[in-house]
Structure 1
């Protein structure tokens, strides 16, 4: 028998760690805060009597959800003081994440921005039910509501999200094609080519966090967005390059300025045109774009 046998609590936590991180990240939109939640989850988990735990996965998700809800409420104050638009922290993900359609959609910048418009409890109920398939009874235990109340919250949250999420699922290949056309138009300064790939009502959201230059409000309309790239962003001194990448389970561009990481450009595509551009430049949010973060819904 090994002298280094792992105790059952540690074994269970390690086995479900990627799942717990994914839950916390989808609830918070911040990898740093998700890691803090996992630490808090661990500290509570090691005090639990495992003989009384029927389903370790569900119990761990419950603890993680509660800790995430506590942190969501404090994050709201931070976001209110944030300079300019707030975007989720982008994560470099393995190519196979894109093959898990449910995971890729639930992690997309477009959907995570919609989740920002929900209350903390609505967000927790929606994410646990829609992405992770947790039962209403277990969700009720996690959020401190009755199963009947959770049913109502889930219905309300689903209606809210469905009214705002992209109407049609788009394949990774369609997103890559739009991203390549966008990249080519910007690099060759082809204004018409850029206008051709942008939807008329495209929205550009930039997150500089007050550290890097970014528009303080979303920019709407193809011509205005094009001017941003051929005007404001086009005046950047040096060489801008875009490397195809896989961020939050979806194709994106890793943008470098003179070889140094400048930001991540994620997009939303509908009918072969870009309807949303999400450019994260805040350096504090770019710590996980060169090393893959393992994610799972199971």
Structure 2
């Protein structure tokens, strides 16, 4: 009876947290799994022994690294003692006929929807043992089990929890009632402490890739022969064309005297002609002077 009442109370309070931080959380979901390697501090408002105070609770949520679709995924949620006062302690001595129980609600979401998005209730019961007054209380970790239907990201975010006692026999009601009832006071811290699990498909494509290289190898040998055939053909053509070109140029050279500069054998030297012309001009000049003097003497 006590347990069901506690769950209803915690569920109502956690629902408000889920509505407030659902949008914040999904806005920060990365594409890879994030394992909470060390406990994260989450501020809770806890009521115990008639007083309410802020508790810096150490929250540690862990899970599998690479789960696959349709496999069982188990996330472990551990609520540990705060690093500084106040602590979770027994206000009065706990007899050996009682055992400590922790009951919590975690917000489970996924993208895409591969698991139901809901508040998941988890609980853990310690073995019956006597605890002296003032001693610290350490509850057992709670387990949250899920089965993803496909690939995607699953988020497990810590929510409210309560600590109470129940009889070791499992029947009857606890004498002390609730020891602590804790609600999340800092939603950003709870979101940062969430566990993100990436569900990946199992790789089974090895058999398909094996025959592909075999078929490709047969086709690869064919183009290897193709470039070899035109290569020698181009080389032979270039060599044969160059030789006749040089032979034609050499054969035409002896027949063209003008192109070799050999003009000296064609006739007399031009200097002789010029000298003869000069002598004729000089003779004509002298003859003209002689005739002029004779004419002057006669007159």
TM-score > 0.5 by shorter chain: no
TM-score (normalizing by structure 2): 0.20
Larger RCO: 1 or 2 (CA < 8 Å, sep 6+) = 1
Which of the pair is proportionally richer in strand?
Answer: 2
Q: Give the TM-score of the pair, scaled to structure 1.
A: 0.20
Greater percentage in helix: 1
